[in-house]
Amino acid sequence: MSIGQIAIGRNRGYRKRLSKLGLLGWLAVFVLFIFGVIAIFGSALAPHDPNKIDLAYSYVGPIPGHPLGFDELGRDLFSRLLVGARTSLIGPIVLVISTTLIGTSIAILAAWRRGWTDAGLSAGVDIAVAFPGLLLAILLSTVFGASLWVAIAALTLAYTPSLARLLRSSALRETGMDYVKALKVLGFSDSQIIFKHLLPNLAPFIIAQAIIMFGYATLDLGGLSFLGIGVQPPTADWGTMVAAGASGLLQGYPTQTLAAGSCLVLTALSFAVIGDRLARIWGVE
Amino acid sequence: MSTPLIKVSNLSKQYGDLLAVADVSFELPPSGSIGIVGESGSGKTTVAKILVGLERATSGKIEVEGQDWSLPAKNSKERRERAKYLQIVFQDPYSSLDPRQSIGTALREALSISMKDSDEVIVRASELADLVGLPQRILELRPAKLSGGQRQRVAIARALASNPKALILDESVAALDVSIQAQILNLLVDIREQTGIAYILVSHDLAVVRHFADSLIVMKNGNVVERGQTEAVMDQPNHEYTKLLLASVPGPGWVPGKRSI
């Protein structure tokens, strides 16, 4: 069978299995799609300037043209929500992707090479796990200045070791399977076995970990923004909006926290549902 | 004796302080069969792994049709080249197949290494299923739907995909129940008649080895303690260990000993 035909066979199989995503799964895809569109076109869609301060409108409720009302500084909440989607989604997504890529690479390298490579990487991971992520973030932001990217880099460094350690043990179990040895003896190259067999078999586990991480990533990045290390004001961001709305919450104006919080929860939930469905499609039933 | 297909000379493997394989030598003639017998920990599986390049020998020499195989394949080209000579079937039928792949995909993938024409690959995959006595509909299924015996047949079919000159059976029937064992052993005999393939049978089970190994070596703690033609060794064992192994096989007239509680 030529490579092309193998690929076609694959696609057909995937399409058939993707229909197993179910109503909830497709709903989650839809939600993320909408958020994705908002994240890309948010600034164009926003009806008002998200950073225009007008203290006369502080905590004013919904009025025509302003469906969600205003925040504590009299900025249009709806516009801030739309514009905030980009930072709010990009932060955790970049964090989760970079952590997953680096963590998986370390885990597979250690499990595949074993011996000294494994011993060296595992020792490095053990040392890194012991280092607190928050401290690292504060340290990095002192050195490089506070920004979302520094926060992401710090949390990537903080998340990667524990993910690598988790994945390493499943990768070790998988590489110890006889089918991996049989494929080597059949003449397949390391990369063919890793990409066509090892990774797909580890995928459900990796995705499950990534989803759990997404929740933490949203919270931790929000927390860092709250501390002034992550997203810098006046940039709109759901995490910072939740934090900023906290004082309003006590005074009886919960709209900001609720609106931004629901967006965060909906995003995390959608990822969770899709991840769960994908895990089932990939055969962890 | 003609030129051997596989010639192993003074093979040794050291793990730290443990000498797992000590100075093992044997020859396998084309279409011949040799049994490597011993209890667990005797080093027989390590010999098998070194032969297929999954372990690196500490010292010694392996020649396959005159080519030097003493070290594992250096690159994937060499790996593919060696695949045409020697394949292996493992003990555990439950871990020897990728759970994500249907049987047909697994066989076609194995065939794609040496065959480029896709129609040919599909035809050959169903021929392989026939050869190992599996119904065609099984090609659609994933390993989870198969019994241990069926999986072991798939593992054999996959190993035969590269059309090897020799097949290592590393305790390949040990995990199966006795009636299935007999079926698989008969299948292996049939395959040898059809293809002229040579076998290296790694086993702790002398009854299995007697079934079709022409000659055998007996290993204990990494050393070869006895070697010879299967019949001769079975009928007239010289080494105490071989006698012990033989005595452990239940035969006609064997009475279970009373257990003291």
The answer to whether B130 and B117 have CB atoms below 8 angstroms apart is no
CA distance A27 to B159: 45
Domains of chain B: 6-85+165-247 (3.40.50.300), 99-163 (no CATH)
Residue B211 identity (one-letter amino acid): H
pTM for the complete prediction? 0.79
Is 60 exceeded by the pLDDT of residue A131? yes
A9 versus B145: the higher-pLDDT residue is: B145
User: How far is A122 from chain B, CA to nearest CA, in Å?
Assistant: 21
The structural domains of chain A, with segments of one domain joined by +, span: 3-281
- ipTM for the complex shown: 0.90
**Is B162 in contact with A6 (Cβ distance < 8 A)?**
no
Res. A10: pLDDT tops 50:
no
CA angle B219, B7, A193 (to 5 degrees): 85
Distance CA(B72)–CA(B174), nearest Å, equals 27
Q: Using DSSP, state whether A18 is helix, strand or coil.
A: helix
Best CA proximity match to A117, nearest among A127, A130, A106, A131: A106
* Nearest chain B alpha carbon to A174: B95
Kindly report the number of other CB atoms within 10 A of residue A62's CB atom. Answer: 13
Q: How many angstroms away from the CA of B242 is the closest CA of chain A?
A: 30
Interface test mutation site (partner B, options A184, A185, A205, max chain B beta carbons within 10 A):
A185
For A109-230, list the strands marked E by DSSP.
Answer: none
Cβ pair A179:B97 closer than 8 A: yes
Q: What pLDDT was estimated at residue B237?
A: 87
In whole angstroms, what is the distance from residue A203 CA to residue A209 CA?
10
Mean predicted lDDT score pLDDT of chain B: 90
Q: A22-72 pLDDT, tens per residue?
A: 888 899 989 989 999 999 998 888 888 888 888 988 888 888 888 898 988
DSSP state letters, B236-258? S--SHHHHHHHHTS--TT--PPP
Instruction: Kindly indicate the confidence band of residue B182, based on its pLDDT and cuts at 50, 70 and 90.
Output: confident
CATH classification (class only), A3-281 = mainly alpha
Residue A269 confidence (pLDDT) = 83
- Tens digits of residue pLDDT in B160-173: 999 999 999 999 88
Nearest to A190 by CA among B80, B235, B67: B80
Q: Does A181 touch chain B (CB under 8 A)?
A: yes
The strand pair at B33-37 and B215-220 is best described as parallel
The answer to whether residue B1 scores a pLDDT higher than 70 is no
DSSP E strand stretches across chain A = none
Instruction: Report whether B87 contacts B6 (CB < 8 A).
Output: no
- pLDDT higher for B250 or B50? B50
